[in-house]
Amino acid sequence: MNGHRPRLRVLVVEDSPVARRLMVHILNEDPDMEVVAEAADGREAVHWTARCRPDVIVMDVVMPAMNGLEATRTIMSETPTPIVLVTSNHDPAGGMSFDALQAGALVLLPKPPGPQATTFGQEAASFRMTVKLMAEVKLVRRRPARRPAPAPAAPPGARKVEVVAMAASTGGPAALAAILGRLPPAAPVPILVVQHITAGFHQGLVDWIASVSPLEVRLARDGEPLGAGQVLFAPAEAHLGVDGRDRVALSADPPIGGHRPSATHLFRSVAEHYGGGAVGTILTGMGDDGVAGLRALKEAGGLVLAQDESTSVVYGMPREAAVLGMVDQVLPVGQIARELVAAWNGGGSR
């Protein structure tokens, strides 16, 4: 360990003693981290967060007394702290995990397997790395949201834009909900989405977005025709693109920059087949996935929108695109839906 850098202080919140001991053990294996407190429910989590001021919280979603959603809301209001949610891949709480992401939690992870699992070492290492990365995130201040007026409905016949492609990583579920929840139900174009999220949570994400958006939201299926008003998400471990016949094209090609699905693959695909009729939107997230694809989209004459720093949980992907000159407009997340409507009405800025 670097002697000049203090260890990251972690609070672990889990009502199962066995699961809690396992996570404490996994995290304490890293010389850069130290579990400084443990809690068995959300109320204890709120108490220990205020008392210990941890650098990061690892918290279960389904708990007695106060669940992970309510604890997240309280902590983000009283003592804002990076929160990593953990739950089973098939969350019995349904959309509660994603509501907690909207409330300010950063990322959703599956609970690590026991030491008897053949993948334990690999999954434990990945778990530690994610917790360390999230501890470094500078939190976006959350204010009680007043729901803005919805974007205006598109008039019939105005269809210069043919497709919208969107990509997000850390902080993305809440950003996508903010945008897709404000689009009119009569959207005249299909919307294709890549969201980096752990395998096993894709269907839960889609179900949650569908509950807040007036549009048809589901996982994309290979070969299906694209339809107006559809929001199609890339499924787990498949690149999402389109073919020359206005159909979905899923691909098992190798990951791009460590990602499959990859935003770069999506943006390149819509650039190739729709050119200036495509709008690319890059949202909050770590790294630079999507930037190379936006170059192709921009060169093909498409419109590129990016989320701004003030509303991004992690200003990584949008920043890289903006720095390299790939972006036509940098916007707060609350204004992106209106700009998308303006674009497909023929009034988008280029």
* Fold (CATH) for 8-135: Rossmann fold (3.40.50)
* Cis? peptide before 112, omega within 30° of 0: no
Per CATH, the architecture of 163-344 is what? 3-Layer(aba) Sandwich (3.40)
Residue 194 has φ and ψ, to the nearest 5°, of -115, 120
169 is known as an active-site residue: yes
Q: Choose, from 60, 91, 99, 289, the residue flagged as catalytic.
A: 289
Q: Which of 55, 60, 91, 196 is catalytic?
A: 196
| 289 a catalytic residue | yes
Q: Write the CB contacts of 296 (distance below 8 Å, at least 6 apart in sequence).
A: 267, 268, 271, 272
C-beta of residue 130 within 8 angstroms of C-beta of residue 109: yes
Domains 8-135 and 163-344 share a fold: yes
Alpha carbon 27 to chain centroid distance? 24
Determine whether 349 is an active site residue: no
Other C-beta atoms lying within 10 Å of the C-beta of residue 30: 19
Find out whether 327 and 304 touch, Cβ atoms under 8 Å. yes
ω before 261 within 30° of 0 (cis)?
Answer: yes
Distance (Å, rounded) from C-alpha 326 to C-alpha 321?
Answer: 5
Model pTM score: 0.90
Catalytic residue among 169, 213, 262, 269: 169
Per-domain boundaries in the chain: 8-135, 163-344
Residue-level pLDDT, tens digit, the chain, 350 residues: 455 678 999 999 999 999 999 999 999 999 999 999 999 999 999 999 999 999 999 999 999 989 999 999 999 999 999 999 999 765 555 688 999 999 999 999 999 988 999 999 999 999 999 999 999 888 765 444 444 445 555 445 444 799 999 999 999 999 999 999 999 999 999 999 999 998 889 999 999 999 999 999 999 999 999 999 999 999 999 999 999 899 999 999 999 999 999 999 999 999 999 999 999 999 999 999 999 999 999 999 999 999 999 999 999 999 999 999 999 999 999 999 999 999 998 865 54
